[in-house]
Copies of this chain bind each other. A is one copy, B any other.
Amino acid sequence: MDLQYPLELVGTFVFAISGALAVRDLEHDVFGAGFTGFITAIGGGSLRDMLLGSYPLVWIGDVYFLYAIFAGVFIAFIFPKMMLKLRRTMFLFDTLGIGFFTILGVEKALSLGVRPEIAAIMGMFSAVMGGVFRDTLTNEIPILFRKEIYASACLAGAILYLILNYFGLERDYNMLISISVIISIRLIAVKYKLSLPRLD
């Protein structure tokens, strides 16, 4: 799939924009916003690779990821109002991003020889932990503890990918289906304000 690499860069770019804009309300300066964009974009994949002992980390070994982040932060700097008006668009990009990064994370973990159970967790971590680090740094309640379904959609899609993979479905179809399922769950959950049951 020749689209994978450019899509990864686009996903990194979008995560950097959303991370940089996430802190606007806190009145951070441009450096703080850039730093947050950076952590959001690289956090999930870096944690995955550090847990798996896979070096060099993606953004350290391939400088184009860094450029994608710089570009995203730069866009957030010079067009903050436009980006915020595009909140709906950004939400869509973020949703595409978590779908895509989940499945790429699963595949990377599998390629390093771990069991499917571990690969599912690594896929979810790739997609959501950058946002969790962002929220922890800015003293927000981490996104995965908020109401609407988020990380659980990623985990569900990761498990689906692994099941379809086990039954031999061809990779490109499997990616398409699993990513679509993550995106659909997330969109439906946000539209209809669906959340998982609580413990009580």
Contact = CB atoms under 8 A, between A and B. Distances in A.
A6 to B, nearest CB: 20
Contacts of A20: 199
A157 to B, nearest CB: 14
Interface stretch (A30-38, A92-100, A167-175, A176-184): A30-38
6 contacts: A29-B147, A32-B144, A33-B199, A50-B51, A51-B57, A53-B55
Q: How many copies does the complex hold?
A: 3
A149 B24 CA distance: 17
Minimum-distance CB pairs A-B, first 5 = A53-B55, A29-B196, A31-B152, A32-B145, A80-B199
Contact of A137 (B142, B149, B152): B142
Contact of A144 (B35, B56, B80, B152): B35
Interface string A86-118: 000000000000000000000000000011011
